[in-house]
Amino acid sequence: MLAASLLPPGLEDAPNRCTFEHPLFSKLGAVVFRPAEADGTPSLVMPLGRSTAVLPLWSLQAELRIDRASADGRMLAQVARSLNFVADLRLGDLLPVEVLDGEASWQPSPAHQQLAASRLKLRLSSQLGADASVDWGRAGPQAVLLAAAQPGMRLALQAACIEAAARLGIPDAAGAARLVEAAAHELGFIEALRDWLLRRVALLAEQVRRLAAGLAQNLSGLELLSRVTRLTSIAVEKISARFADVDAQTAIVLDVLRALEAWRDAIRQHRDWLYCSLRGWEPILTAWELAVPGWSAATWPLLGRTYRFLAPRFMPMQEWQTARPKLQNGEPELQMVW
């Protein structure tokens, strides 16, 4: 195991923490694992005289000849995945719960949780009741909350839970209600990300489209603006597809309740992808939200920054390989997770 001097007392045997067996880690000093500033590659950052050295984890693993199936190899993979959810890790730090047991290290707001529960209950009542004319999966938040607050909704939900229990072979309606609440809990994260990520990216795309009206005579500027407009549209489509997958997997509520564990695992994969995306997007989204509407001195730098963010993530692969600089040192191609 890792030398005890590297860890707080009592944490020498803690697989849920960032620990390594290789003796080199005990000699590197106060190392930190974090994404590289240049491209987000999971890296080890260590002091080197008056400066610091940044080593990509894939390079560190190769240099130390750490087998991927070994304890250290598995830990390096866990650290790389952890950096999707936390800013950095130090030796002895707890790994984020997403990596350990699939739970989330963050929480949706009560409003998002209420919206998710209302939407799911309306779906169940509609599908097991007499009126299935409204697709509550597509209805807007205000319509969902208003319908869920109607006086007869509680009785309709009770009747739906009784029917669900009978179809699922559950002893009573309370058991079915608990399954509904468990599914709604997972969907609260999705509703939060729909608001915090998809809505804001769509607004950014709209802001960019509106800029074109004031740039008719600037051909070089139109080219950059056209590229950013195209890439933001692709981004909205790609992110929307994730939410469409979640909605499709939740379309038949009885099927969700019948296979809740498998459904939850699939939903959490979407949740984590969307949350990682939000962490990456946040600086760009915030910059556009703080920007002065229309053209200003800061618009061109912001457009350039946005293009540099979008291109490696959303430009079609063949086009990106043509546009990006050729690697000269034989290093492997970087792969964007989202």
Give pLDDT, residue 175. 94
Which pair of structure tokens corresponds to residue 131?
Answer: 């009126």
Write down the residue that tokens 């599914």 correspond to: 183
Q: How many angstroms separate the CA atoms of 204 and 220, rounded?
A: 21
pTM for this one? 0.82
Q: How confident is the model at residue 13 (pLDDT cuts 50, 70, 90)?
A: very low
Which tens digits make up the pLDDT trace of 109-168? 999 999 999 999 999 998 887 566 677 777 888 999 999 998 888 899 999 999 999 999
Which pair of structure tokens corresponds to residue 283?
Answer: 């600086």
The distance between the two most distant Cα atoms of the chain, rounded to a whole number of Å, is 74
Report whether pLDDT(5) > 60. no
Report whether pLDDT(211) > 90. no
* Overall average pLDDT of the 188-201 stretch: 97
Instruction: Report CA-CA distances (Å) from 152 to 115, 125, 158, 196.
Output: 18, 11, 10, 32
Report whether pLDDT(4) > 70. no
Q: How confident is the model at residue 336 (pLDDT cuts 50, 70, 90)?
A: very low
Report whether pLDDT(93) > 60. yes
Q: How confident is the model at residue 9 (pLDDT cuts 50, 70, 90)?
A: very low
Average pLDDT, the chain: 85
